Amino acid sequence: MTSTLSPTLGGTKHADTQLYVTATHKVRSTSGKPPFAWVPYGVQHAWPAGSRKTLCGEWTSGWTVFWERSFSATPHDACPACVEASLPEASRRRLDPALRRTA
Ligand SMILES: [Zn+2]
């Protein structure tokens, strides 16, 4: 570890900003037992707490934030742009050939 950018963050990714799931709509989950939880409907975006936009730049006015859900790249309906933006810098370099060339 030789990072000088964020010496107080312990070297973990985005330790300063928790990412929550946000979506334009919500529906009642139909799996499991009642009470059914609200679950995101449609694309799941990543929302940094306190921001007015998603990671991919969508305005979140009127959107539902799922405070109990941390954004994850795992769901098939996770927003690809948000997934990419949420990746640690090291992973982005590994995935993007253009960035890797300049590194
Ligand atoms: Zn998004």
Distance 17 CA to ligand 1 centre (A): 16
Amino acid symbol at 56? C
- What mean pLDDT, rounded, does the chain reach? 82
DSSP 2-70: ---S-TTTTT-TTTTS-EEEEESEEEE--SSSSSPPEEEESPBEEEETT-SB-TTS-B-TTPEEEEEEE
- Residue 85 φ then ψ, to 5°: -70, -20
Residues with a beta carbon under 5 angstroms from ion ligand 1: 45, 54, 56, 79, 81-82
Per-residue pLDDT, 16: 62
pLDDT in tens, 26-54: 999 988 889 998 999 999 999 999 999 99
What are the structural domain ranges in the chain?
A: 19-102
Distance 75 CA to ligand 1 centre (A): 13
Confidence of residue 9 (pLDDT cuts 50, 70, 90): very low
Q: Which two tokens stand for residue 71?
A: 């954004």
pTM of the model: 0.70
Q: Which two tokens stand for residue 98?
A: 């253009």
